[in-house]
Amino acid sequence: MGKNIQAIRGMKDILPKEAEFWHYLESTLFDVAKSYGYSEIRFPILESTELFSRAIGEVTDIVEKEMYTFLDRNGDSLTLRPEGTASCVRAGIEHGLLFNQIQRFFYFGPMFRHERPQKGRYRQFHQFGVEAFGLSGPDIDAEVLAMSAQFWQRLGIADKVSLEINTLGDAKTRDKYRELLRDYFRANLAQLDQDSLHRLEFNPLRILDSKNPALAALIKGAPKIIDCLDGEPKAHFLELCDILDNLKIKYQVNPCLVRGLDYYCLTVFEWVTSELGAQGAVCAGGHYDGLVAELGGKSTPAIGFAMGIERLAELAQSKATALTKPKIYLALLGKNATKFGFALAENLRSDLPNFCFITNCGGGALSAQLKRADKSEAVLAIIIGDSELAKNQATVKYMRKGVSDTQVNFAELVTYLKNFGANYA
């Protein structure tokens, strides 16, 4: 026998029960996004490596350490997408969707990052994200935040997440702030770790994003970007706060929130939870007004966020009930009944799309077939054998309730099941 081959570390299979729940999550997210006028966009899983290094920034965790990059058979450097925004912008530019237009998109799919696998952190994970182009906010900022709040409402987890916001101002704000930060961290050089020393040189803002607990106190004492803010970026931030207050969306201003990617400006935010241990960020995003131009398009303001579906699934877990269609098992005894039953099942599936019909395959005695029916979690078994065929009636057996078997004419089965479905909850 050959040796077992296992899934790649940090890449999870999603087994049928879980997949069913994911389906519910996805359709809820899609429904809500569509109700805000967002439309789905799909882009490839592989892109040129340059797309991500340019969009996300060379001195970021993702580009420095986490990308799955390889040369294909032509010698081109390709990367499995670590996030969706860069691809979305690339696709938008390529198809002429962005310049001078307002666009609202959402996407869903797997992302790949070579991180240390642990609970809530995988090497293949999934994100649902939205991106809005052509609007500079703060109204659009409020819209995407209101939409995310709506997700939590629909999924019944509004009490488990809280919103943190910050602003990165404009380029001028960040230039000023970078200098303040450099001075501050240079004065405390001995306390910095290797990563932060490196960031100090290239992008001192990213030190604030460090997950090293030894740096927490130093980071907490650092100058705050809000204090460098004035003019339009300040008005933008205050107006966003005002709209959020009016919407009664609670938030906390977190001055250390800078996000790990280079493309952000103005509003940045994260929805966090304390229920998932160390991996507390469920959904994160912000404005990225410079990215479209950085990737070769005409300058276009943009904002978006992405949420981790594995973390979301973990949070919303307890809501995973009653998502399935009621299952009906057709127990078919003998060749004639099997032939008849297969044709009947086709009709039932067309007439009753809200049910699931499982036809018995592989023959077997009635007792064996009912065992399979039980294992499939069917609520009813429709038994058809020679005597049922002779009488033109099916025997209907309740699998979950103490109701005795009943005979139903084949011609009346659809009506019978419709009534059964109406009372089934």
Using CB under 6 A as the criterion, which residues of the chain lie in contact with ligand ATP when the complex forms? 83, 113, 115, 120-122, 125, 127, 260, 279, 281-284, 306-308, 310-311
CB neighbour list of residue 131: distance below 8 Å, 6 or more residues apart: 84, 85, 88, 89, 103, 104, 105, 106, 107, 302, 303, 304
CB count within 10 Å of CB 347 equals 13
Q: Do strands 252-253 and 162-167 pair parallel, antiparallel, or not at all (unpaired)?
A: parallel
Residue located via tokens 């009664």: 248
Closest separation between CB of residue 70 and ligand ATP, Å? 19
SS3 279: coil
Count Cβ atoms within 10 A of the Cβ of residue 407 and give its class: 0-12 exposed, 13-18 middle, 19 or more buried.
exposed
Nearest approach in angstroms of CB 294 to ligand ATP is: 17
Q: Are 263 and 291 in contact (CB under 8 A)?
A: yes
Question: Residue 281 or residue 320: which is nearer to ligand ATP going by CB?
Answer: 281
Residues 6+ apart with CB under 8 A from 361: none
Nearest residue to the partner ligand ATP, using Cβ: 308
* CA 301 from centroid of its chain's CA atoms: 24
The residue assigned the tokens 């099916």 is 394
E strands within 87-206?
103-112, 124-133, 162-167
Which lies closer to ligand ATP via its Cβ, residue 279 or residue 338? 279
Query: Smallest gap, in angstroms, from Cβ of residue 75 to ligand ATP?
Result: 29
Looking at beta carbons only, is 195 or 388 nearer to ligand ATP? 195
Determine if the peptide bond prior to 255 is cis (ω within 30°): no
Q: For 36-97, where are the alpha helices, taking DSSP H only?
A: 49-56, 61, 85-94
**The amino acid at 357:** F
Q: Which is nearer to ligand ATP, 110 or 334 (CB)?
A: 110
Which parts of 296-365 fold into alpha helices (H)? Answer: 309-316, 335-351
Phi, psi dihedral angles at 144 (to 5 degrees) = -70, -30
What's the CA gap between 57 and 276, in Å, rounded? 29
Nearest CA-CA partner of 232 in 289, 276, 183: 289
**Residue 320, token pair as written in the block:** 């995973």
**CB of residue 283 to ligand ATP, shortest distance in Å:** 6
The pair phi, psi for residue 95, each rounded to 5°, is -100, 15
Nearer residue to ligand ATP within complex by CB, 41 or 408: 41
* Closer by beta carbon to ligand ATP, 8 or else 390: 8
Q: How far is the CB of 113 from ligand ATP (least distance, A)?
A: 5
Is the Cβ of residue 271 or residue 420 nearer to ligand ATP in the bound state? 271
Residue 65 beta carbon to ligand ATP: minimum distance, rounded to whole angstroms = 11
User: Which residue number, 73 or 116, has a Cβ lying nearer to ligand ATP?
Assistant: 116
- Residue 157 identity (one-letter amino acid): I
Q: How far is the CB of 286 from ligand ATP (least distance, A)?
A: 9
CB of 200 to ligand ATP, least distance (A): 20
Q: Which is nearer to ligand ATP, 67 or 337 (CB)?
A: 67
Nearest approach, Cβ of residue 12 and ligand ATP (Å): 10
CA nearest neighbour of 187 among 149, 143, 159, 222: 222
Could you tell me the smallest distance in angstroms from the CB atom of residue 248 to ligand ATP? Answer: 24
Q: Smaller CB distance to ligand ATP: residue 279 or 376?
A: 279
